[in-house]
Amino acid sequence: MTSLRIKTRARREMVNLTERLRAAVREAGCAEGMLLATVHHTTCALVINDAHSGWEEDMLAFLARLVPQLDFQHMHDGPEHAKSHLLGALLGPHLTIGIHDGEPVLGTWQSVFMVELEGPRERTVTLQVLPS
């Protein structure tokens, strides 16, 4: 298992992890199997999408509008904190990616992103390579 430490710089931010995942698979020497990625924070998520220029800003703008400001009854740290938790739950903390020929199986334009929802912070993502 490999742990990635990621320091974010903004309240909401997209961090491309694709090359780090590829390196972890190569380091594990796995030709065929599965890669499990987990972010260990309730105000972060993992997603797969296009790394096209500008996509990250569009995604963050969408997320800002996805969960409106509500009067949350059980989140005592304020509405922005509650919004971060809700977005993290909607997007999810895990990804499972196949490994074939020693590489993560991703489409031509697919990249793996950690979505910071309440930064800046130091975050941990664990990667576990499971040979088949």
Unique residue bearing structure tokens 């998520």? 45
Give the residue numbers spanning the domain of 40: 2-131
- Cβ-based neighbour number of residue 91 at 10 Å: 18
CATH number for position 18: 2.60.120.460
pLDDT at 44: 97
pLDDT at 85: 87
Extract the residue ranges of the chain whose pLDDT is less than 70. 69-79
**How far does CA 82 lie from the centroid of its chain?**
19
Q: How many domains does the chain have?
A: 1
Among 91, 125, 106, residue whose Cα is nearest residue 12: 91
DSSP 3-state percent helix, strand, coil across the chain (nearest 5): 25, 40, 35
